[in-house]
Amino acid sequence: MQLKSIDIGAFKTRNNVFLAPLAGYTNCVFRQMCYDLGAGLTFTEMVSAKGLCYNSANTRELLQLTPEYGGIKAVQIFGGEPSYMRRAAESEELAPFDVIDINMGCPVPKIFKNGEGSALMADIPRAQAVVREVVRAGKPITVKFRIGLTPEHLVTRDFARAMEDAGASLITIHGRTRDKIYSGPVNFDEIASAKAAVNIPVIANGGVFSLKDAEELMAQTGADGVAVARAAMYNPFVFCELTGTPEPDKKAVIGRQIERTFSCFDERFATVYMRKMLSFYIKGMPDCSRMKAELFRCSSRGEIEEVLSRINF
């Protein structure tokens, strides 16, 4: 695919292949790894605006940064009340971040029922009010949303224009409706219609698992770049393929991920997280069921590293 930098306010990404936010996965160590493998921009897991306003310890943990991260620092927040969103954007906890992304696409029922995430697509005036308030915090604002709630109610073009009018510097569009969650084909035409309707960069998201997928998504939509989500969980080395970055030794990279994860997080979290990640990385390998069973019996860093030593990537 054709690589290029993307302007987000005063910031310029090193390329147009982004790591999308992934709740439960895109912690600081994983973001650092994906950036090292070629990702042009990475986002935190989605962070509750109200959690920030109420000083939630669990919320603050999502905002960790590795000292060596050299790229643009982007945080994703969610919420449905403009005042809370602005307070969160202006909070001390978000001061280290350069760009604030607003989640308007999360399909999870709990989030949706609270009037947050994808629920904002059904209320364009409130979605605009959220963006306008967050823009007042003084940082570039981006918005991630879907093409609509159901196939019968597609809002991509109008919603894209509304986000631009409200002050968004970039939009990312997941090419599926809320009811499809993460399954089914990506609607190229809807993303293309939004791209034709706005003057800000448009990043296309959905179904990118290979260079071929990314090139098709770009060609069919005219988007300025792509955002990779689930593919990165299973194969973070996809960023090497998409950006032409030389692929390093996989076992060494994953070994560093284990080391850094246990350094940044408590042992219980790190153990559970790395068992889960390695089970993703070995999907499709011969005898992966047996190796997964071994992984989920691991109770320490040493045991996880021992299993890693026997995996043939």
The residue type of 77 is I
Residue numbers of the chain with a pLDDT score lower than 50: none
The reported pLDDT for the residue numbered 181 is 83
CA distance linking residue 51 with residue 178, whole number of Å: 24
Helical pair 188-197 and 211-221, crossing angle rounded to 10 deg: 50
pTM, to two decimals: 0.95
Give all domains of the chain, ordered by start, each with its CATH number.
Answer: 7-243 (3.20.20.70), 250-309 (no CATH)
Please say whether the beta carbons of 149 and 178 come within 8 A.
Answer: yes
CA angle 72, 140, 123 (to 5 degrees): 125
CA distance linking residue 1 with residue 107, whole number of Å: 29
For 23-63, how does the pLDDT look when each residue is reduced to its tens digit (9 = 90+)?
A: 999 999 999 999 999 999 999 999 999 999 988 778 878 99
| Identified catalytic residue from 28, 34, 53, 106 | 106
Q: What are phi and psi of 299, to 5 degrees?
A: -130, 10
The reported pLDDT for the residue numbered 118 is 96
Query: Is 34 marked active-site?
Result: no
Please state whether beta strands 170-174 and 73-78 pair in parallel, antiparallel, or not at all (unpaired).
Answer: unpaired
The reported pLDDT for the residue numbered 108 is 94
Which letter does DSSP use for residue 187 in this model?
Answer: -
